[in-house]
Structure 1
Amino acid sequence: MASVCGLRTVTNEPVPLKSVEVQVDVQGHVASVSSTLQYENQESSPVEAVFIFPIESNATIYSFVARIGDVEIKAQVKEKAQAQEEYDDAVSSGQQAFLLEESDESSDVFRLSVGSLPPGQSASVTLSYVTELAVQADDALRFCLPAVLNPRYTPAGGRGNSERQQRWRRIWNCWTGGKSLTAAGSGPQGESVPYTLSLGVHIYSPSTIQSVQSNCPLTPLEFLSQDNTEAKVSLSPGHKFDRDVELLLYYGQPHQPTAILEAGQPSAQPGSLMGDTVAMLSFYPEFPSIPSSQMTSKGEFIFVVEGSGSMDCPMNQSNYKQTRISSARDTLLLLLKSLPVGCYFNIYGFGSSFKSYFPESVEYTQANMETAEQKVKSMQADMGGTEILQVLQDVYSKPCLPSRPRQLFVFTDGEVGNTKDVIDLVKRHALSHRCFTFGIGEGASSALVNGMAEGGSGHPQFITGAERLQPKVMQSLQFALQLVVEDISVKWNIPADISVTPLSPLPNVLFQNQRAILYFQLTGQSSTNISGSVSLHYTLDKKAVENTLTLNMKPKEDSSMLIHRLGARKAILALEGERGEAGDKTGKERAVELSIQSGVSSSYTAFIAVNTENKQPIKGPLLRRNIRSKMLFGASGQYCSDEDELNDEECCYIAVLPDYSADQCCSDDEESYCCFGENCYQADLGGGSLQSEGQGSVVTLEDGMDYLSDPPERQKVGDPLLELISLQKVDGSWDLQPSLASIFGKKEEEVATALPRKPEFLSVWATVLAVLWLHGHKMDFKDEWQFVAAKAVAWIRAQSGADLTGFVAAGNSFLGLKVELRNLGLQ
């Protein structure tokens, strides 16, 4: 989950945030982001604050500017130990200083230390970074601005300063899905936010901009060019940044390959990365996919699913009844039914510990599938914390099955403290498997999800907002079953006096709907308008394919050097962890040199800024603030104002929920509880237990756990699609039974009586009806049931003596549908 960011006062209240300004410039499939946050220290003493925040894992921070009063301090990149020493020396001597460093555990978590902010003084920090935009299944480019970069508003007098109170807030938020709380007797909700907010997006596209969509309200898209290749848009006024901001950009020719040549810095040494031209090539191969009816696999499928306490949180704010663990259960059941005949499989659940459903992968038979299905249905979010390294070590310790390619699917909603160790483990086994990852809910670590997928030659997916998990998982299953682009190489046709150096390794494979962005350093670049070309070569289904781009060899000049910085970051990531030969520089040494030269962040360097213009040391005790608290779902409302009030008197809240009326939650110095109708739940915040009063159900939480199980009222509403799929057998057929008939809106006797042939064809009849129902009622969810239907069609076609035309005609009549035989794949 995301961490609250911002500066804190002596009473652990936020240093007042005055304004947030974010500017995004999108050039094709690259976004440059500048986020400025302005604060004011209203304490009577100087403050040192520590601000911990996540950022997109593929983002490259290239600029950090701090402003104190009228003084602007631009940070420099230095080796991390040196930067930390300079920061400590500055703070201890009373100077103002800022230190920005990447976490040792994860590349998507940064720590900003703000030293010696004088009382009554204003300060602002501006972070600038550049990032590649991910491609979605519908060819959209996705940009995400984490809300944590724009602190969520907590009303004045809001509580949250004690660990005991914070735990209760986390329990409440997870339970209700972030529904607002209003103190009994308090005023109306919806207080105005005490700071200004702005976010503007400027888009430059190589082809026509068709539309921009978002999970947040936007102003109308304004085109700035006649050919609609330049436009701007912004968030509507009043947005509170209480969620991640997602933008989906749709271009007219998404599969068109592009190339950008960016000139080096005139002041940089020729032959160095920043002094030479850098080329960025973007290939988005469009190749025909194999129909699901023709997909077969003798592979091994392993599903690793997180079962930590946080998986009991809602999938999104709009539907708090759908928890992450219930969505994962539904998805696993769908995957079990969608696996191809002849494969092997296994399932792992993990948290603080792990367990596998079978000692080793087993054959996909009806008996094994039913055993797994029963275990999946009983899966709960009761396995403690998130410890993914040990379960992966167990998976990799099992030998791969001969001639059965291993496909690993990993589901997680959180962050781990050893992200780099996990990614390194996946990379070490990259040649023996492919790894597909799924980040569930806002706050999932992009470094973990992206890093594992990239290291395992797989594909990452993120499920946030109100999205269904199933379509994205089935898309990845389709990737795993389809042929992939392999044997990737790049060939240049340019003047002989220009040498080309790749800045990162070429990808091993490419999937449908996957873009390859490649960076190269061009040394000896001529300034004349010489033409050249570059081509991407690969094989698909043992056939050679070539995509060629014509280049103007005169590079464009751009003072921001965004392409250089992205290329430098790719090169640094490739160097990190390398060990040099005796007498050679290690990967770390080369990465540090490249980080300092290019001015981009790395795990070995940090940004340091010291206000050397301040000749007067800051006097007074320095108050250190370490900010690592949680914020779930942007919950708001009045709480007890401080610990004294909580201990002195009972503090009550009225829960405003759609399914309940005027339910009450109370806390005093001994206990906290909530009442839902006649059911009251007591929370012992000190001991970490929760129990139902008068209902007999007791749930024990480990110390420090933030979550709890569903109250009785939160009953899952059955999904007829998933219910129908759960009834399918491994071979693809359905047997006639009351639960299947009820999905059709019929009784079992009615279905049996309508059978157009002999009784031995009853399963054929039931299977034809199931496939017709899918086509007639669930076409909007075809991505979810396509493999299920493909197996069913293959089974139907294999049944000799069945009059398929007659069965389909009778089925259409019986169900009141008009699905044509050819649409079913039965002709």
Structure 2
Amino acid sequence: MVHFYGLLTLQREPVPLKSISVSVSIYEFVADVSATLNYENEEKVPLEAVFLFPMDEDSAVYSFEALVDGKKIVAELQDKMKARTNYEKAISQGHQAFLLEEDSSSRDVFSCNVGNLQPGSKAAVTLKYVQELPLETDGALRFVLPAVLNPRYQFSGSSKDSCLNVKTPIIPVEDLPYTLSMVATIDSKHGIEKVQSNCPLSPTEYLGEDKTSAQVSLAAGHKFDRDVELLIYYSEVHTPSVVLEMGMPKMKPGHLMRDPSAMVSFYPNIPEDQPSNTCGEFVFLMDRSGSMQSPMSSQDTSQLRIQAAKETLILLLKSLPMGCYFNIYGFGSSYEAYFPKSVKYTQQTMEEALGRVKLMQADLGGTEILAPLQNIYRGPSIPGHPLQLFVFTDGEVTDTFSVIKEVRINRQKHRCFSFGIGEGASTSLIKGIARASGGTSEFITGKDRMQSKALRTLKRSLQPVVEDVSLSWHLPSGLSAKMLSPEQTVIFRGQRLIIYAQLTGRMPAAETTGKVCLKYTLQGKTFEDKVTFPVQPKPDVNFTIHRLAAKSLLQTKDMGLRDTPASDKKDALNLSLESGIISSFTAFIAINKELNKPVQGPLAHRDIPRPMLLRASAPLKIRCQSGLGKLKACSYSYDKPWMSLEKLPCLLEKTHSSTHRTNLETYHAGFGENHLVQLIYHQNANGSWDLNEDLAKVLGVSLEEITAAHPAELVDSSGWATILAVIWLHGNGKDLKCEWELLERKAMAWMRVHAGRSTILRPVSFPFPGLAEGYHKRVPLSPVSTILLY
């Protein structure tokens, strides 16, 4: 028997779960998934097998059935308490029974019980679900098959009813006795450009010459060391659309499944505006539990989560606008705040926060996020500075519904932007708190950079608020639309909206069209998106749109067994039973009454083991050589009272060597080895840099050389240092521009104010003899990067 920290054990008994096979059908931006768990009892006694597995919290599970030795048994969705009672009763009577239920504390964990599996018997248990696919910023649709279920931190208030309390064996990935296979078929009328994955796939097979259908499969031998992710690129993904689906006319009036349902997709073209310079209270809540000491991905060379978090906080702090307020919290089993209350963003407060960020460690034990949230919400609001909360966590908690409830209670006073770090982060927690507060959620896995996603979200939070969001329908006479989705109050630039509605009344006999319009206001201007569609509902045996609409409603009413308000419990239960979508209050149960063998003593209990990701204690250190070469001797002359960087002759050249990396994708163990982070670390709160040894070290030249080249009659030392720093960013960090774009804007704004309006540039020469030998390349300068010297 092998032990790792007392948690990892190898089972002596044969494991009844032999394989998991998954079939995925993706049409446009909806996925229909069928997952089959194949069991076989190789022991001489009847078994009860329990398997815990993760699932994306947006999944709407609508079917559960078993095939036992050739006999099909279809499950029924029942009240959870009733289903559990019926399951125990069936087992005690010698029947074979199957139970599927959602965890009582989190929507993204399920347990599958197979009871009374006879010796030598085989059972294939199949569950089916549908889900919307989120849209990434590069236009890719993202499908994730969760394969990693991390241990969830248990605290004193954890639900005793949670299936996560089951002491499921955890073993190393290489010793896992069952396998995973997956085949995905993709269809889009817009055409499929490419399919990418974080896991090895078979070559994409196009099923038609027009590339509107394709198929991929997971390569054999997949290890459970990461979630399986597909990124699907269509030729057109932003086109608005409306899809109508026929209902079940035989159902009672008022039943969700009776009338046709519509799924409306909008991608509003919201113009980008300059961010506010002063508004906002920004609070960063950072996970400092022990699991944050793990690598970002299963690769030993990946950056530690806590290290990525520190770099991310530096970028966020440097990118904040002058005049705003901020604070940083770290949490684990306990929590601590950098300041007793949010402070105004100044050079002094920024430096104090940076000093603590640099020393930050994953040293606060478990993962208890509720207490710091409550402390943040108890703080007084700052007039004119709406609260923007950024939550970073690997999501290994059990009190998910309690946390979401707390965020929802305080939704009127803030927006929450959440980030799930690493494989196995709780989708229920991360998506739930963002949805409850009108924010957005991001997941950072594999080679994703926390820094990029966090800065993109900060930029989004700084945009002016979209207001007066409304949806209007123009339908044929006798037909009306009833909204099923919760009211949309916030739209962010680059965000896609999915809206569900139920069409009631008399459907037109002849072919006709309808129209739906989305209106919103941005800084006093009204914008409108509209789409025309044929009013001809199409049949779907799985009732995909109806079930997704039901899931959308359930997410607003179902807050778990303990936390759902009494007024919503009955509605949530009835909605779940009507739509056939599992919830916190229901469970699927299937009973094989033909198997009626007397029970000889208690069933042997087998908990199916889960994989443990073996994590490296530290990433591989890779040293990055000097990122900057020498200043080049050159001269320039302008007679206009302004100058832009793209008109400046190249001041800098890069000296390349075989060990130099220019894309800055390489991870480092400390700030001192990462020139980009080092440069950003030394930026002042107002956006400028100081001309000193620290800057010279990052630029790779001596302070004497920089000082000698300084055109002192045109710009002071800080202005000169800021110009050189921005040029360095464009030459050495262009691949990561999304991470420093906001702090560059601060530098631009500072230069415009700082330079004054009387400066006229004259010819200046920068003599630098003895350029380093080797390959020299001019630093490309972006037209966007413009410093105006008035």
TM-score (norm 2): 0.84
More displaced stretch, 141-150 vs 111-120: 141-150
For 1:385 and 1:616, locate their aligned partners in 2 and report how far apart those are by CA, in whole Å. 46
For 2:132 and 2:391, locate their aligned partners in 1 and report how far apart those are by CA, in whole Å. 23
CA shift digits 1:463-520 (9 cap, x unpaired): 0012211000001001100124332211111123223221121221111221111111
Is 1:215–2:170 an aligned residue pair? no
Match of residue 480 from structure 1: 461
Match of residue 289 from structure 1: 272
Letter in 2 for 1:15: V
Is 1:439–2:420 an aligned residue pair? yes
| Residue pairs, 1:664-679, within 5 angstroms | none
Contact 2:148–2:611 (CA<8 Å) still a contact in 1?
A: no
For 1:811 and 1:358, locate their aligned partners in 2 and report how far apart those are by CA, in whole Å. 48
Match of residue 93 from structure 2: 93
For 1:561 and 1:63, locate their aligned partners in 2 and report how far apart those are by CA, in whole Å. 12
Q: Relative to 1, partners in 2 of residues 1:631 and 1:822: Cα closer, same or farther, differing over 3 Å?
A: closer
Contact 2:308–2:450 (CA<8 Å) still a contact in 1?
A: yes
Deviation at 1:632, TM superposition (A): 1.6
Q: Relative to 1, partners in 2 of residues 1:238 and 1:140: Cα closer, same or farther, differing over 3 Å?
A: same
Letter in 2 for 1:276: D
Deviation at 1:614, TM superposition (A): 1.5
Q: Relative to 1, partners in 2 of residues 1:40 and 1:811: Cα closer, same or farther, differing over 3 Å?
A: farther
CA shift digits 1:333-359 (9 cap, x unpaired): 111111011101000011111110000
Is 1:453–2:453 an aligned residue pair? no
Q: Relative to 1, partners in 2 of residues 1:500 and 1:391: Cα closer, same or farther, differing over 3 Å?
A: same
| Residue pairs, 1:410-809, within 5 angstroms | 410-526=391-507, 528=509, 529-576=511-558, 586-626=567-607, 631-633=612-614, 718-758=673-713, 761-800=716-755
For 1:740 and 1:64, locate their aligned partners in 2 and report how far apart those are by CA, in whole Å. 62
Contact 1:200–1:232 (CA<8 Å) still a contact in 2?
A: yes
Identify which of 784, 787, 790 aligns with 1:826. 787
| Residue pairs, 1:125-144, within 5 angstroms | 125-144=125-144
Alignment coverage as a number of residue pairs: 712
Match of residue 663 from structure 1: none
| Residue pairs, 1:81-120, within 5 angstroms | 81-120=81-120
SS in 1 for 2:113: strand
CA shift digits 1:349-407 (9 cap, x unpaired): 11111110000000101111111111111111110111000100000000110011111
Is 1:265–2:265 an aligned residue pair? no
For 2:10 and 2:352, locate their aligned partners in 1 and report how far apart those are by CA, in whole Å. 57
Deviation at 1:546, TM superposition (A): 1.3
For 1:297 and 1:809, locate their aligned partners in 2 and report how far apart those are by CA, in whole Å. 39
For 1:400 and 1:595, locate their aligned partners in 2 and report how far apart those are by CA, in whole Å. 39
Contact 1:21–1:198 (CA<8 Å) still a contact in 2?
A: yes
More displaced stretch, 138-147 vs 118-127: 118-127
For 1:775 and 1:716, locate their aligned partners in 2 and report how far apart those are by CA, in whole Å. 20
Q: Relative to 1, partners in 2 of residues 1:126 and 1:300: Cα closer, same or farther, differing over 3 Å?
A: same
For 2:478 and 2:764, locate their aligned partners in 1 and report how far apart those are by CA, in whole Å. 68
SS in 1 for 2:754: coil
Deviation at 1:286, TM superposition (A): 2.2
SS in 1 for 2:244: strand
Letter in 2 for 1:139: G
Letter in 2 for 1:96: Q
Match of residue 644 from structure 2: none
For 2:715 and 2:137, locate their aligned partners in 1 and report how far apart those are by CA, in whole Å. 42
Contact 1:68–1:124 (CA<8 Å) still a contact in 2?
A: yes
Q: Relative to 1, partners in 2 of residues 1:53 and 1:800: Cα closer, same or farther, differing over 3 Å?
A: same
Q: Relative to 1, partners in 2 of residues 1:419 and 1:261: Cα closer, same or farther, differing over 3 Å?
A: same
Letter in 2 for 1:102: E
5+ residue gaps, structure 1: 1-7, 151-162, 181-190, 636-654, 661-712
Contact 1:316–1:465 (CA<8 Å) still a contact in 2?
A: yes
- Kindly report the root-mean-square deviation, in angstroms, between the aligned alpha carbons of the 2 structures: 3.3
Is 1:350–2:350 an aligned residue pair? no
SS in 1 for 2:716: helix
Q: Relative to 1, partners in 2 of residues 1:345 and 1:804: Cα closer, same or farther, differing over 3 Å?
A: farther
For 1:555 and 1:714, locate their aligned partners in 2 and report how far apart those are by CA, in whole Å. 57
For 1:70 and 1:810, locate their aligned partners in 2 and report how far apart those are by CA, in whole Å. 84
Deviation at 1:67, TM superposition (A): 2.2
For 1:820 and 1:657, locate their aligned partners in 2 and report how far apart those are by CA, in whole Å. 33
Match of residue 20 from structure 2: 20
Is 1:230–2:213 an aligned residue pair? yes
CA shift digits 1:722-743 (9 cap, x unpaired): 1100000001111112221122
| Residue pairs, 1:360-399, within 5 angstroms | 360-399=341-380
Identify which of 234, 243, 246 aligns with 2:229. 246
5+ residue gaps, structure 2: 1-7, 151-165, 623-667
Q: Relative to 1, partners in 2 of residues 1:784 and 1:30: Cα closer, same or farther, differing over 3 Å?
A: same
Q: Relative to 1, partners in 2 of residues 1:76 and 1:343: Cα closer, same or farther, differing over 3 Å?
A: same
Letter in 2 for 1:97: A
CA shift digits 1:528-582 (9 cap, x unpaired): 3221111111112221111111121110001111111111111222333699xxx
Letter in 2 for 1:553: V
SS in 1 for 2:63: strand
More displaced stretch, 535-544 vs 244-253: 535-544
For 1:116 and 1:550, locate their aligned partners in 2 and report how far apart those are by CA, in whole Å. 55
Letter in 1 for 2:530: T
Contact 2:106–2:560 (CA<8 Å) still a contact in 1?
A: no
Q: Relative to 1, partners in 2 of residues 1:772 and 1:464: Cα closer, same or farther, differing over 3 Å?
A: same
Is 1:74–2:74 an aligned residue pair? yes
Q: Relative to 1, partners in 2 of residues 1:105 and 1:804: Cα closer, same or farther, differing over 3 Å?
A: farther
Letter in 1 for 2:292: M
For 1:481 and 1:807, locate their aligned partners in 2 and report how far apart those are by CA, in whole Å. 40
Match of residue 341 from structure 1: 322
Contact 1:9–1:43 (CA<8 Å) still a contact in 2?
A: no
Deviation at 1:807, TM superposition (A): 10
Letter in 1 for 2:522: L
Deviation at 1:767, TM superposition (A): 0.6
SS in 1 for 2:243: strand
Contact 1:756–1:806 (CA<8 Å) still a contact in 2?
A: no
Letter in 2 for 1:782: K
Contact 2:168–2:609 (CA<8 Å) still a contact in 1?
A: no
Contact 2:285–2:329 (CA<8 Å) still a contact in 1?
A: yes
Q: Relative to 1, partners in 2 of residues 1:803 and 1:721: Cα closer, same or farther, differing over 3 Å?
A: farther
For 1:422 and 1:540, locate their aligned partners in 2 and report how far apart those are by CA, in whole Å. 32
For 1:349 and 1:811, locate their aligned partners in 2 and report how far apart those are by CA, in whole Å. 49
Letter in 2 for 1:91: I
Contact 1:243–1:633 (CA<8 Å) still a contact in 2?
A: no
SS in 2 for 1:594: helix
For 2:441 and 2:424, locate their aligned partners in 1 and report how far apart those are by CA, in whole Å. 15
Deviation at 1:758, TM superposition (A): 4.2
SS in 2 for 1:135: coil
Q: Relative to 1, partners in 2 of residues 1:44 and 1:431: Cα closer, same or farther, differing over 3 Å?
A: same
Q: Relative to 1, partners in 2 of residues 1:52 and 1:762: Cα closer, same or farther, differing over 3 Å?
A: same
